[in-house]
Amino acid sequence: MSGLVHPWIHKIPAHWYLERIVALSDLKIDLSSLIADPEPSDNDKDIRDFLEDISIEVEKNYAVARSGRIVTNSGIWICTTLPTEHVRLASGQTLPQIGNTEVVWMCQRKTKGSAEEILQDEFNAYYLRRTLKGSVNYSEPDEYAEYSAQRLRGQTNQSSIRSMLALLAEMINDREHWITKQIESSTELDWTKNEKNWAWFQTLLSKIRLNLSSSENQ
């Protein structure tokens, strides 16, 4: 089940899955009628159960959830389809509906204070072992770097971008950098001892830095 979601998280936000599942689940039709070439065993109940399983998988691993779910992350939750709607909830409280409508909520990411914290947060969210699913072996890091740079740019100002560029340069040139070691621990991936992984990681950092540098000069 997780294989359907995690490999695409780097470019398709987790809330995207839930929004579409909620929309499908709201349809008052037999969902098997939407399948182009259905198997004889396909039926509405099994499809709805399958969508529910995917939703639970997403909610278990990412800070997004549907109305009626109990939150495990305290903070401000924002409706993904109506960003002006937000609620502050403590862990254990329940996400509301808007009117009589089930919606998707996303926990607002805490503002990070330093380039080190912002970068670690990025890797902890998008470069876990389960998220990459072996991409180091068959995918170039260019696309990952592009999306990472977009997210990092949204969390930094001009001053912190300069700090981020300096940090990335340090990490590219220092295989034993302490941030890299922390990232290895949190992502459960060996980025430095395995030569192939190190080459991928080093290229990723270089491409992220190039993207951030280009945006700074615009």
Buried/exposed code over 19-38 (b: 16+ C-beta within 10 A; e: otherwise): bebbeeeeeeeebbeeeeee
- Asked whether the predicted pLDDT for residue 3 surpasses 70, the reply is no
Cβ burial, residue 7 (10 Å; 0-12/13-18/19+) = middle
28-65 residue pLDDT tens: 999 999 888 878 788 999 999 999 998 998 898 888 99
pLDDT of residue 205: 98
Map tokens 């100002």 to a residue: 157
Positive/negative CA dihedral, 102, 55, 10, 113 = positive
Cα 180 to Cα 202: distance, rounded to the nearest angstrom: 10
pLDDT of residue 60: 87
Positive/negative CA dihedral, 136, 127, 150, 117 = negative
pLDDT of residue 1: 44
Domain ranges of the chain: 2-107, 115-216
Q: Report the 3 state secondary structure along 87-142.
A: EEECCCCECCCECCECCEEEECCCCCCCHHHHHHHHHHHHCCHHHHCCHHHHCCCH
82-100 residue pLDDT tens: 989 999 999 999 999 998 8
The mean pLDDT value of the chain amounts to 88
Q: Mean pLDDT throughout 113-129? A: 88
Split at pLDDT 50, 70, 90, the class of 110 is low
- Work out the percent of the chain whose per-residue pLDDT is above 90: 55
Q: Mean pLDDT throughout 129-156? A: 84
- Asked whether the predicted pLDDT for residue 2 surpasses 50, the reply is no
CA-based radius of gyration for the chain:
20
- Name the pTM for this structure: 0.71
Cα 70 to Cα 95: distance, rounded to the nearest angstrom: 6
168-202 residue pLDDT tens: 999 999 999 999 999 999 999 899 988 999 999 99
